Amino acid sequence: MSSRALKEDLAWAVFILGVAAFFGVMQHWSMVKVSIRGELSRHLEERRAQRRAVQFQGVKTVSLAQAHALWQAGALFIDAREPREFQEIHVPGALNLPPEVVEKEGPGTLTGVPKDRQIVVYCSETACDAALKVAERLQALGYTQVLAFVQGFQAWDEAGFPADTSQ
Amino acid sequence: MARKLNWIILRLLEAALGAVFIYAGLQKHWHPEEFAEAVLAYRLLPSSLAGLAAAVLPWLELTPGALLVLGFKRRSCLLLLGLLAAAFLAVLLITMARGLQIDCGCGLFFQRQVGLAAALEDAFFLAWAAALYWWDWRQAPDQPLPAAA
């Protein structure tokens, strides 16, 4: 009796799984098609760029080469990643300032830093929005020379640029 | 009376678990591109399958979650949700072992990275589903426990 009931539970679970999978594929068929064609990453990059153009309108960005040149020129680098990631490794001289800290500290953020100081904000890699969020917030706080380095620390590290691993 | 109270508590806990999975599923369903990015970041599936997984997974949470709230085939829904939580726990542990620092894409309460907190949260839901399955089985008349079968 119990074995039969267990089989019945499993059979219904498989049926519900099938129904759920069918609805999922139907609901997101366009994304499934793009994925099967092997174009998902490019599609996501395009959609991300479109979303960011609207969501972070007015935030200027820099390339890897420009970010490196600005670091050599003495720009202030802000690391928008989580403290744990920052403590492991970061751009030398960078300050750790995740979006939630900027939100919490408000106008008290970066006390003592001139409003016209060149600032470059980065996070972990291209898909993360933290750098753009922090850059937008710093602009709103009156900092006039804020740039977001959207390729992030991953690109910096892969390029072999200096990194600080001290805690 | 005690049996009725037992049943009410069981149903409330099942509905609460269903609601959690509905919420998690909706977060992913409403943001399919962000969720697809999260799936890709795990680097476990080829790009050609990541889109399929990102399309199907939210509905694997939504459908049994909704049916559980409605009280339809509750044990089957609990089995599915438990298996889903177990599979995700395995993915989290593999990702932690590989040292990837990525967003977990869990769609629950707030953004968090793959790590111990996300694994414990998932293990909690796995235990919740398993305990309810066992309890629901005990409530059913004339059915011994699966372990005693």
pLDDT in tens, A29-67: 999 999 999 999 899 988 888 889 999 998 999 999 999
Sorting pLDDT into bands at 50, 70 and 90, what band is A1?
very low
The two three-digit tokens of residue B136, written as one number: 């629901």
What per-residue confidence (pLDDT) applies to B149? 38
Q: Residue B103: closest CA among chain A residues belongs to which residue?
A: A128
Residue B110 within a domain: yes
Which region, left, alpha or beta, applies to residue B141 given φ > 0 means left and ψ of -120 to 50 means alpha? beta
Domain range for residue B53? 2-139
Say if B148 falls within a structural domain. no
CA distance to partner chain B, nearest, from residue A117 (Å): 31
CB B98 within 8 A of CB B88: no
> If we measure between CA atoms, which residue out of B21, B129, B123, B124 comes closest to residue B69?
B21
Share of chain B above pLDDT 70, in %: 91
Cβ atoms A122, A87 nearer than 8 A = no
Taking only the tens place, the pLDDT of each residue in B30-76 is 989 889 988 998 999 998 899 999 999 999 999 999 999 999 999 99
Are A12 and B142 within 8 A, CB to CB?
no
Q: Whose structure tokens read 């019945």? A: A8
Q: Is the pLDDT of residue A106 over 60?
A: yes
- Which residue in B72, B75, B110 has the most chain A C-beta atoms within 10 A of its own C-beta, making it the best mutation to test that interface? B75
Chain A residues close to B137, C-beta within 8 Å: 5
Average pLDDT over residues A143-162: 94
Quick one: how far is CA B126 from the chain centroid? Answer: 7
Q: Is A20 in contact with B21 (CB distance < 8 Å)?
A: no
Chain A touched by B145 (CB under 8 Å): yes
How high is the pLDDT of residue B19?
96
Nearest residue to B38 (alpha-carbon basis) of B91, B83, B84: B91
pLDDT in the model for residue B141: 60
Domain count, chain B: 1
**What is the per-residue pLDDT across A10-36, written as a single tens digit (0 to 9) for each?**
999 999 999 999 999 999 999 999 999
Tell me the residues of chain B between 79 and 108 that have a Cβ less than 8 Å away from chain A: 79-80, 83, 101, 103
- Nearest-Cα distance to chain A for B4, in Å, is 23
Tokens in use for A21? Answer: 């999978």
Give the span between the Cα atoms of A64 and A152, in whole angstroms.
8
CA distance to partner chain A, nearest, from residue B47 (Å): 6
Residue B11 has pLDDT above 70, yes or no: yes
The whole-number pLDDT of residue B147 equals 52
Two tokens at B66? Answer: 């909704």
C-alpha dihedral sign at B138, B141, B144, B149: negative
Query: Around Cβ A121, how many Cβ atoms within 10 Å?
Result: 33
> Does position A143 have pLDDT exceeding 90, yes or no?
yes
User: Could you give the CA distance from residue B24 to residue B144 in angstroms, rounded to a whole number?
Assistant: 33
| Residues of chain B numbered 38-67 and touching chain A (CB < 8 Å) | 40-41, 47-52, 54-60, 62-64, 67
Q: Is residue B144 part of a domain?
A: no
* Lowest-confidence region among A14-18, A21-25, A109-113, A143-147: A109-113
Q: Which of B29, B83, B149 has the CB atom closest to A2's CB atom? A: B149
DSSP tag of A39: -
Task: State the pairing for strand pair A76-79/A119-122.
Answer: parallel
> Which helix (H) or strand (E) covers residue B34, if one does?
helix B32-41
Contacts of B37 in chain A (CB under 8 A): 44, 48, 127
Would B25 be classed as within a structural domain? yes
Asked if residue B1 has pLDDT above 80, the reply is no
Q: If you measure CA to CA, which chain B residue comes closest to A9?
A: B76
**Does some domain include residue B146?**
no
